[in-house]
Chains A and B, each alone.
Chain A
């Protein structure tokens, strides 16, 4: 009994008749094909070529079938294509799960589904799949063009739904209606965007492979590694200064500090991170010369942040290493904002630990004898570390060194060859050679990598720092002064520091586009890029980068000091209600907006009201005129004429503009009569 009843409730027992499918109108099919194309097109960039080819073949084939009004392929053939395609995707990605394989599968099905378009239901499946595919584009790009494309596609999807439900006389009208619908949703979207409680990072967790292939500094430096980075015009980060912009020669954005050298590669010592083994970083402020700024860091999948030499206050969740690198707790996977204050005139660790000092003296044995020889000579003749450093810089300046991004390959004794033979190189060569010289002369020294300079975007005032601004410099530890920054590149190519890499390099060296600007049209192009990047930056700051922190900022600006989720829900509800109320009022107003003849008549009635005559709601024009004749004979002429005009306009066969003018004229006469009698 009981089981029987449960079955009845679950509907198992009911032998349901399958309803006949609602047939699909032929005119809907082009819309659905457009949906399939628009929702999948941007994915072509990441999909394997064979899948793109299959996709276009299937869609073109479907269009052809539509044009010829031919029969759709048999079910077994579709099944065969589906299985083959799925197998192909599984083979290509080695899985069917995860971001890329999943998207590939969806796109493939999107091309396949139109081939079994029999009923309205199939059309709806395509539209819903389209809406889902829309979201997947954000895995790859969250830029303005993507946003615009997806917005347009949303309108197309909505229009397809309208078309499927039989609306609209022409495609233009349907698209117009869809655009109106979507536009009406925009204010609501804005309220939800502003007030819906935010979570850190994107709403969906990205798989691990999402961050592969990000460019940026690394924790090791071997010949040519920086060189590759400098070829990239990508943006590393943007900085917005609230204090005056420091001089360009002070814009040293500090990245990883490299102090282990094996003769070829410079690496960061992992022990540097250990607080127990090291003295904590101590920055003494020599003069109150501060820089306050906010970094918007592009994701580089590493923990270090790039503060100006040297930061004294940090955002939450970041800290200073004993080697004065600023690090976040987690690798930077999303575009993130950090606010810093840096002391530009500082002394760093005047009392450095012996361990750190000896580590900064270590050199591989038996390498670079000529360099060691030179250093030893300086040590004997000059003695004082500062004078040795000055001698080294003088050496770079006076001997024939060239600054170039295309240095010759160096052999085993790389520093020797560079210092005495090739003498061609760029920042990493000079920094490395300088540090080796100093270490050989008994002065603790290390390589610092990071970025130098940057470019102010005149549109929004942000300082843009690109990968091409990557730089390497040196630091020596001096008794009583602590770690002191020395940039040997400045000795060789001062313009690198003063005016940027484009100015320092000889003409003909390959550089990313627009780093070197000569000529009018290039300048114009650069201007264009400034604009584009400023727009992008605003988008990144306010749309993509609208995280809990930003949300708190915005909410506190509109008066919600400590917003919790209750307040936010309230704001959400209030905002939505407000918008709906506006919409409702707008609709009501539109309904009461009458045609011109009615408005003119109502104007006349208002004019009569000023004479003390109130038209009754059910009173027609002639009835009103008759009453006016009885009660206010002095107005009877005007009212009679007006009533005649209005009756002709509204109830007559011809709707002539003269009558309308005459009616409006009556209103004016009534108004002027009123003034005269006053």
Chain B
């Protein structure tokens, strides 16, 4: 296969990101796939493993306008969306757009906010528009939310409800870096400092065509069979309270397409589905025997029950 212009662009992005975030190639790719599939990303892990760095890096590399909200428990919806203030000079109310009016929104520690504020953000994510005081205002295009959250066992968190978790196309866990990567990190110092110098590898108007091309990746009937078999397996498995919803199945296919596109293939193979399944399914599946979401190893066990022919 000759590398298409798309794949060289994307390869540049991935290479640049890997220079900042060490040893997390799969997560970088997944994050990128999520963006290509026009979805929002949720990164969940302990503080200090590089969640914010990843979000920041991606925004930079794609040359997108970037803003950041640090969620706290006393935050109000207006702090996210914006508010109208009275302009004395014009004797009128003027809308001050909140940080949500940007192409990439980094919502840091989203589960520290109260449900009210969370839902203000999540509604905007779904509708891609904001309605304030009767006026509907569209959000910029592309609009990509990267939210991070700490594990719900941490103190002072308001866990996101199921319906709102479903708004995130992917949920990633970064995990600790491996030994070599951590050593490189220690030797090279903190990576945050290099971020402002990071050059954009893409321009904002390149992203639309990339997204369209990713969505056009071929999924054959045999592959759809496989996706359906997997979804059915989640529904029939006694390990989960509920199976994956049709929206989740669509999400799975979309991400698998983007994943195959990132790999430079023009068709989706079962391996693509398997690769993205944990990130798509984990936050959507509730374990039956313990409170909490499915873990990647649960998904791996599930994959083993569905034969690929």
Report which A residues bind B (CB closer than 8 A).
594, 598, 601-602, 616-623, 647-648, 650-653
Contacts and interface: CB of A to CB of B under 8 A. Distances in A.
Contacts of A602: 309
Contacts of A650: 220, 222
Given A651-B267, A652-B267, A617 B220 contact: no
Contacts of B304: 616-618
Contact of B223 (A601, A616, A648, A651): A651
Contacts of A653: 218, 220, 266-267
A620 B307 CA distance: 9
Contacts of B266: 652-653
A175 to B, nearest CB: 31
17 contacts: A602-B309, A616-B304, A617-B307, A618-B306, A619-B308, A620-B269, A620-B270, A621-B269, A621-B271, A623-B271, A647-B267, A647-B269, A651-B219, A651-B268, A652-B266, A653-B218, A653-B220
Contacts of A651: 218-220, 222-223, 267-270
Contacts of B121: none
- A620, A621, A648, most chain B CB atoms within 10 A: A620
Given A598-B309, A617-B307, A622 B218 contact: no
A602 B218 CA distance: 23
A356 to B, nearest CB: 91
Q: Is the interface of A mostly helix, strand, loop or mixed?
A: helix
Nearest to A615: B308
Interface residues of B, number: 19
Contacts of B267: 647-648, 651-653
B303 interface: yes
Contacts of B223: 651
B53 interface: no
Nearest to A597: B222
Interface string B233-253: 000000000000000000000
Contact of A620 (B218, B219, B220, B271): B271
B294 to A, nearest CB: 17
Contacts of B219: 651
Given A598-B309, A616-B304, A623-B274, 10 more contacts: A602-B309, A618-B305, A618-B307, A620-B269, A620-B274, A621-B271, A647-B269, A651-B223, A651-B267, A651-B269
A598 B225 CA distance: 14
A531 B174 CA distance: 87
A648 B220 CA distance: 10
B256 to A, nearest CB: 11
Contacts of A601: 309
Nearest to A605: B309
Contacts of A619: 308
Nearest to A622: B271
Interface in B208-239: 218-220, 222-223
Contacts of B306: 618
B239 to A, nearest CB: 17
A639 B269 CA distance: 16
B287 to A, nearest CB: 21
Interface in B253-303: 266-271, 274, 303
B260 to A, nearest CB: 9
A426 to B, nearest CB: 83
A617 B309 CA distance: 8
Nearest to A619: B308
Nearest to A621: B269
Nearest to A646: B269
B237 to A, nearest CB: 14
Contacts of B307: 617-618
Nearest to B309: A598
A650 B270 CA distance: 11
Given A620-B274, A623-B271, A652 B308 contact: no
A609 to B, nearest CB: 16
Top 9 closest A-B pairs, CB basis? A620-B270, A617-B307, A620-B271, A651-B220, A653-B218, A652-B267, A651-B267, A650-B222, A623-B271
Nearest to A595: B222
A360 B143 CA distance: 126
A616 B271 CA distance: 13
A598 B220 CA distance: 14
Contacts of A647: 267, 269
Q: Which of B218, B267, B269, B305 has the most C-beta atoms of chain A within 10 angstroms of its own C-beta?
A: B269
